[in-house]
Amino acid sequence: MKRLSLILLLLCIYVSSEAQLSETFSDDIQTLQVLAGADGADHPVIRLGSQERLYISFDDLRGGYRRYTYDIQHLDYALQPTPGLFESEYVKAANERGIIADYEESSNTLQNYTHYSLTFPNEDMRPIISGNYWLNIYDEDSDDYETPIARIFFAVLEPMTPIWVSTTANTDIDSNDRHQQLSIRLSLTNLKLQNPDKELKIVVLQNRRPDNAVIAPPITQITPTEARWEHDRRLIFRAGNEYRSFEMLSTQYAGLGLDRIRQWDDAYHALLLPADMRHNYLHQPDRNGQRVVRTVENYDNDSQGEYINVYFQLKPDDTWDTNTDIYLSGQWAYNGTKPRYHLTYNPHNGYYEGSALLKTGYYSYLFESNSGSPDGDFWQTENEYAVYAYLRSPFDRHWRLVGQTSPATERK
C-alpha cells in the first residue's frame, strides 16, 4: 500500500470529532503549516534532545504587523493537559511566551497578507520531556490576547521500542471489499512494565486524520516480550478512495484539475472541473489530504503566493440523497469538520457547490459525508497508517512518547 509509513509514536487527540491536530480560530489566519523532516512531509514529531526542528508558518490576511507570541503545553495521550505538571518540568524558556519575530509582507499579490514563520525548538524555548504538546499562538494586539488564535500539535519522542504493523483487506467484517484492518505488535523488552494494560497506550491514525482515530484500544494478547493488537474490530478502517487533486501555480493559466481561472472584483477566482461520484477504484498518486504551497517559479512562495477563490462542483448520482451534507475533506480542510468547507446542493443545476480561499499550490482532497462517502470505499486504496505508543509507569508523572518509525509494513 502507498506510503504505509507506520510511524511509531503516540498521538493525543480529543475524542470529539470536531478536534483537529492543528487549527486556526480566526478566518483572518490562513494557510497554517507545520513542516517536519527534510522535505517537510513528516509527522510533526522531533526526538528528545536532538537537533530536529519544526517549521511553523501562517498568513494574516489583514496585512501589516501584529505582535504574535506563543507558548507550549504538555498533554496526555488524549490531548488533555497533563495534571499536576509545572511548566518548569516540561519546558525550558527564556520568557513565559516567545515572540514570533520572523515576518514578511506579501508582494505582487492582489490579496495583501503578512507571512509569519517560526522555527521550533529554538534558543528561547524548548521542551525537555517527551510526550504530546500544543503550541499555542496568541495575538498580543487583540483585546482577547489570552485566547489562542491558532494551535499546533507536535510530539517529542524518546525512542524505546519498535512496533510492527501489518494491514489486510481480509478483515473481520468483509474481504476485499470496503475496509482495511491492522494488526500491531509492540516489543516490551525495554519497557519493564508492571501492568501493561494500564501503563501502555496506543493511538492509530489513518492518513493523519483525528476524526476517525482509534484511541487506546485494549491489548488483545501479551507475551513476555510483546504486546499485540489483533482481530480487534476497532482497528478496522473504511478503506476510502485515492484522494482527488488539483494544482494552481499561476494566476495566468488553469493548472491540473482546473477548468478556468479569472480575475474580477480585485480577486482571483478558479473553477475546478466538475466532479462525479466515484463507483470504481482508480489508482493514482496522491498525498492523502496534504497540500504543498508553491508557485510556478517556486521562488519566495511564502510572500508571493496568491490567494484564489476556488469553486468546487460535485454531481450526485440518482441514488444519492441530496439532503445529505457534503464537505471537502483533507488536512488543509480540517477533514470535513468546518462549516467553511461545506458544499450546498443547488437544485437548479443539480450540483453540490462550495468554495474555499486557498493559496497557490498543490492540494489533495476528498468529498466526505456522515452517511456514506461520495468517493466510495475500495480495499485497494493506498492509505498511510501511523501508530503512536505512550508509556506511563508508576514512577512517571506524565505520558511519554516511546516509539519510532516501524519496519517496513507487510500487506496480506
Q: For residue 132, give the nearest of 79, 96, 175, 170 by alpha carbon.
A: 79
Domain count, the chain: 2
- Residue 117 neighbours by CB distance under 10 Å: 16
Q: In 252-305, which ranges are E strands?
A: 258-264, 267-272, 275-276, 291-293
Q: Is the full-model pTM beyond 0.85?
A: yes
**Beta-strand relationship, 385-391 and 221-222:** unpaired
Domain CATH for 114:
2.60.40.10
In whole angstroms, how far apart are CA 216 and each of 148, 319, 392?
28, 37, 13
pLDDT per residue, tens digit, the chain (412 aa), is 433 334 333 333 333 334 578 999 999 999 999 999 888 889 999 999 999 999 999 999 999 999 999 999 999 998 899 999 999 999 999 999 999 999 999 999 999 999 999 999 999 999 999 999 999 999 999 999 999 999 999 999 999 999 999 999 999 999 999 999 999 999 999 998 999 999 999 999 999 998 899 999 999 999 999 999 999 999 999 999 999 999 999 999 999 999 999 999 999 999 999 999 998 998 888 889 999 999 988 789 999 999 999 999 999 999 999 999 999 999 999 888 789 999 999 999 999 999 999 999 999 999 999 877 899 999 999 999 999 999 999 999 999 999 966 443 443 4
Q: Which three cell numbers stand for residue 63?
A: 496585512
Q: In 288-337, which ranges are E strands?
A: 291-293, 307-315, 326-329
Domain assignment present for residue 350? The answer is yes
Domain assignment present for residue 137? The answer is yes
Domain assignment present for residue 391? The answer is no
Q: What is the 8-class DSSP label of residue 149?
A: S
Last residue of a domain, one of 122, 138, 157: 157
- Residue 234's φ and ψ, nearest 5 degrees, are -70, -15
SS3 breakdown of the chain: % helix, strand, coil, rounded to 5?
5, 45, 50
Domain assignment present for residue 267? The answer is yes
> Could you tell me if 152 and 257 lie in one domain?
no
CB 155 within 8 A of CB 357: no
CA dist 18 and 15 (Å) reads: 9
CB 367 within 8 A of CB 327: yes
> Could you tell me if 33 and 134 lie in one domain?
yes
Domain assignment present for residue 354? The answer is yes
Q: For residue 140, give the nearest of 101, 90, 105, 91 by alpha carbon.
A: 101
Domain assignment present for residue 348? The answer is yes
| Burial zone of 207 (CB within 10 Å; 0-12 exposed, 13-18 middle, 19+ buried) | buried
Domain range for residue 325? 244-368
Domain assignment present for residue 235? The answer is no
Last residue of a domain, one of 157, 183, 206: 157
- Which positions ≥6 away from 279 have C-beta within 8 Å? 317, 376
Length of the chain: 412
Domain assignment present for residue 225? The answer is no
CB 217 within 8 A of CB 205: no
> Could you tell me if 137 and 249 lie in one domain?
no
Last residue of a domain, one of 157, 182, 198: 157
